[in-house]
């Protein structure tokens, strides 16, 4: 099996993580390194994707700054999104030449990975026929809320950016944006009543990622704490 190295970067600024990805992407294009999976947690930040619409940013940079939230432009697809503490943000740097040269299939595979990870905590994740990401039903209303956002970039079939899964995120920060340009609410595992640590969620995501993409995951000792 192909090897994918997992890097647990901990809490890191968005710009630093982006620079790290750019370096790894160039190395992966030259086949100097195997596929990579970066696990991070960001300081509060709103990022604007290539397809961002001005009306989906509900507060200017000055207001965001007062709330302790940064603002960055990203070369990923998608609209506006938020990253912050309590989120598991995952950046795959994969060479799709070694898997499937199909961007749509790649996004669906990410969704499958997240759905599989959520199932380990008794949460039924769903896809949307229209929008990317993973959704769950709210217990009180039965309506769908977004628990995982996906935004990717592909250059010469090497991927960057990725997905963000809400564990115990401060959901009030989403009030400054229209997440991904959609009116549906966002939700977290904690809001669903799931008390899972970041290490447990990371472990489930890594394991399912390896299974879906048929990769041997080279995991450092800092990623673990399997679910009992």
Catalytic residue among 4, 113, 148, 180: 180
Question: Cβ(59)–Cβ(85) under 8 Å?
Answer: no
Using an 8 Å Cβ cutoff, are 21 and 38 in contact?
A: yes
Active site residue 180: yes
Nearest CA to 64 among 79, 78, 84?
Answer: 84
Specify whether the CB–CB gap between 110 and 162 falls below 8 A. Answer: yes
The whole-angstrom separation of Cα 164 and Cα 187 is: 12
- Give the other-Cβ count within 10 Å of 200's Cβ: 21
Q: Distance between CA 87 and CA 54 in Å, rounded?
A: 25
End-to-end CA separation in angstroms for the chain: 27
- Rounded Cα–Cα distance for residues 153 and 170 (Å): 26
* HSE-up (13 A, CA, CB side) for residue 138: 11
Catalytic residues: 180
């Amino acid at each position: 099996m192909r090897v994918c190295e997992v890097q647990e970067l901990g809490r890191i600024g968005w710009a630093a993580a982006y620079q790290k990805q750019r370096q790894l992407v160039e190395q992966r294009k030259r086949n100097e390194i195997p596929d990579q999976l970066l696990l991070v947690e960001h300081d509060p930040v709103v990022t604007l994707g290539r397809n961002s619409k001005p009306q989906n940013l509900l507060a200017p940079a000055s207001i965001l700054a007062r709330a302790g939230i940064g603002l960055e432009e990203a070369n990923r697809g998608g609209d506006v999104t938020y990253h912050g503490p309590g989120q598991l943000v995952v950046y795959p740097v994969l060479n799709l030449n070694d898997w499937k040269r199909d961007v749509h299939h790649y996004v669906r595979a990410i969704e499958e990975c997240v759905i599989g990870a959520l199932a380990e905590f008794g949460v039924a994740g769903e896809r949307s026929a229209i929008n990317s990401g993973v959704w769950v039903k709210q217990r009180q209303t039965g309506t769908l809320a977004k628990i995982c956002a996906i935004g990717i970039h592909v250059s010469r079939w090497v991927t960057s950016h990725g997905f963000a899964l809400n564990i115990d995120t401060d959901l009030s920060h989403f009030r400054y944006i229209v997440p991904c340009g959609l009116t549906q609410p966002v939700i977290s595992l904690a809001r669903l009543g799931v008390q899972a640590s970041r290490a447990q969620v990371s472990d489930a995501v890594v394991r399912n990622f390896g299974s879906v993409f048929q990769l041997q995951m080279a995991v450092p000792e800092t990623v673990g704490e399997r679910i009992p």
